[in-house]
């Protein structure tokens, strides 16, 4: 069997958090997600509550525990609020599980049939870095967007224009990046995209190495970072110290109009990393002609980078929870297929300023 048509796309991202209700509220109010469905004691689930939110094609689930001895509580105590499961839609679960088992590299559990009101869903769980999972979901015989044990809520928010997940980045320990690249490439049939080395992505202090794996001509994109030695503590190491293991560092979500999206998010109180004003003094010399007004980008701190295929605009939020771990990126692609390598330097200076304020540099 070849490695084609094993995975469709990222289905949903589930977070384990201290208060699912508050995470859901923040994502509704500040990030413009609709509340779609709820699961908890009222729907027959005794030990947890989950909220399913949606904007464009982006589906997020926030789950919290109701009992002190819950494995969700253990996860939150160890990692803080963070991503537990990046679920992947699959065409044929049997074929996909067989492919992964034959390779003998990635760990995949048994196939489980979940019966719901709307049909049967076949799932199997792949373990990835740290406590992160990929639940594989085959939904051909499942006739609904609402997962089993959830009830539809249907509470509409005012969207900010977020459309789809562009990429999801993992941070792993020093010298572990290559084995996790192998895990996805040799173990799960992904391809490797491009690589940076630590000379590319470093400032005076924070250094990292990064490789990108993807599946199905970029339908699923997972960059993987590891810390590299700099003069002071790498921002990846700071993440690992607070998350207490490898985990998901950021999710980049695509918008069709980053100026409008970021303007609206800022109005609603979302905090982004600042960009030094000097960045914009020489921006057009670096990236050439762009459609957006330089003044809008400067005012909103939006970054721009160009590659052989075009350019991209991007901006990063401050950490979403209490620990300096998980954050979002908002990205608009105008042809560019890369990830903003030219901005890493600028971005890191900004991240390091924040890191220094926390006493972790």
Residues at the site binding Fe ion, with contacts judged by CB under 5 A: 252, 329
Q: Is 296 left (phi over 0), alpha (psi -120 to 50) or beta?
A: alpha
- The closest of 10, 202, 191 to 87, measured between CA atoms, is 10
- Which residue minimizes CB distance to Fe ion? 252
Alpha carbons 304 and 214: distance in angstroms, whole number: 23
- Tell me the C-alpha to C-alpha distance, in Å, between residue 233 and each of 178, 207, 264, 354: 21, 8, 34, 13
Beta carbons of 258 and 313 less than 8 angstroms apart = yes
At its nearest, how many Å lie between Fe ion and the CB of residue 273? 12
At its nearest, how many Å lie between Fe ion and the CB of residue 119? 36
At its nearest, how many Å lie between Fe ion and the CB of residue 232? 23
Q: Can you say how many angstroms the Cα of residue 350 is from the centroid of all Cα atoms in its chain?
A: 20
Closer by beta carbon to Fe ion, 20 or else 252:
252
* Tokens (6 digits) for 211: 């490789």
Closer by beta carbon to Fe ion, 17 or else 315:
315
Alpha carbons 161 and 138: distance in angstroms, whole number: 28
* Tokens (6 digits) for 286: 């670096």
Closer by beta carbon to Fe ion, 254 or else 352:
254
Across the chain, the runs of DSSP E, i.e. the strands, are: 9-16, 34-39, 48-55, 58-65, 82-89, 107-108, 112-116, 119-127, 133-138, 151-155, 162-171, 191-196, 207-215, 220-228, 247-255, 303-307, 310-316, 327-334
Rounded to the nearest 10 degrees, what angle do helices 93-103 and 177-188 cross at? 130
Closer by beta carbon to Fe ion, 27 or else 333:
333
Burial label for 188, CB within 10 Å (0-12, 13-18, 19+), is: buried
Closer by beta carbon to Fe ion, 207 or else 252:
252
Alpha carbons 189 and 288: distance in angstroms, whole number: 37
Closer by beta carbon to Fe ion, 88 or else 252:
252
């Amino acid at each position: 069997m070849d490695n084609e048509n094993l995975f469709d796309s990222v289905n949903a991202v589930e977070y384990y958090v201290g208060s699912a209700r508050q995470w859901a509220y923040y994502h509704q109010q500040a990030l413009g997600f609709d509340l779609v469905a709820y699961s908890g004691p009222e729907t027959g689930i005794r030990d947890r509550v989950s909220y399913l939110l949606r904007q464009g094609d982006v589906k997020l689930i926030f789950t919290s525990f109701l009992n002190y001895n819950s494995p969700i509580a253990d996860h939150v105590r160890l990692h803080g609020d963070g991503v537990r499961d990046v679920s992947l839609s699959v065409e044929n679960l049997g074929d996909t599980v067989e492919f992964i088992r034959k390779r003998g590299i990635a760990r995949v559990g048994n196939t489980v049939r979940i019966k719901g009101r709307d049909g049967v869903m076949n799932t199997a769980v792949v373990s990835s870095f740290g406590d992160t999972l990929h639940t594989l979901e085959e939904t051909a015989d499942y006739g609904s967007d609402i997962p089993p044990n959830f009830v539809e809520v249907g509470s509409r928010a005012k969207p900010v224009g977020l459309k789809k997940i562009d990429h999801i980045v993992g941070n792993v320990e020093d010298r572990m990046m290559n084995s996790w690249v192998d895990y996805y490439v040799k173990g799960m049939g992904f391809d490797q995209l491009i690589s940076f080395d630590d000379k590319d992505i470093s400032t005076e202090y924070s250094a990292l190495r990064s490789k990108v794996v993807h599946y199905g001509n970029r339908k699923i994109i997972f960059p993987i970072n590891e810390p590299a030695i700099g003069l002071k503590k790498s921002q990846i190491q700071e993440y690992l110290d607070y998350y207490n293991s490898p985990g998901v560092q950021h999710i980049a979500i695509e918008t069709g109009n980053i100026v409008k999206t970021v303007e609206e998010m800022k109005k609603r109180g979302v905090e982004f990393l600042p960009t030094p004003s000097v960045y914009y003094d020489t921006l057009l010399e670096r990236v050439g002609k762009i459609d957006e007004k330089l003044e809008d980008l400067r005012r909103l701190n939006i970054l721009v980078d160009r590659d052989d295929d075009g350019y991209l605009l991007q901006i990063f939020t401050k950490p979403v929870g209490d620990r300096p771990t998980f954050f979002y990126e908002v990205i608009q692609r105008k042809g560019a297929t890369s990830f903003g390598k030219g901005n890493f330097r600028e971005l890191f200076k900004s991240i390091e300023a924040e890191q220094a304020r926390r006493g972790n540099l």
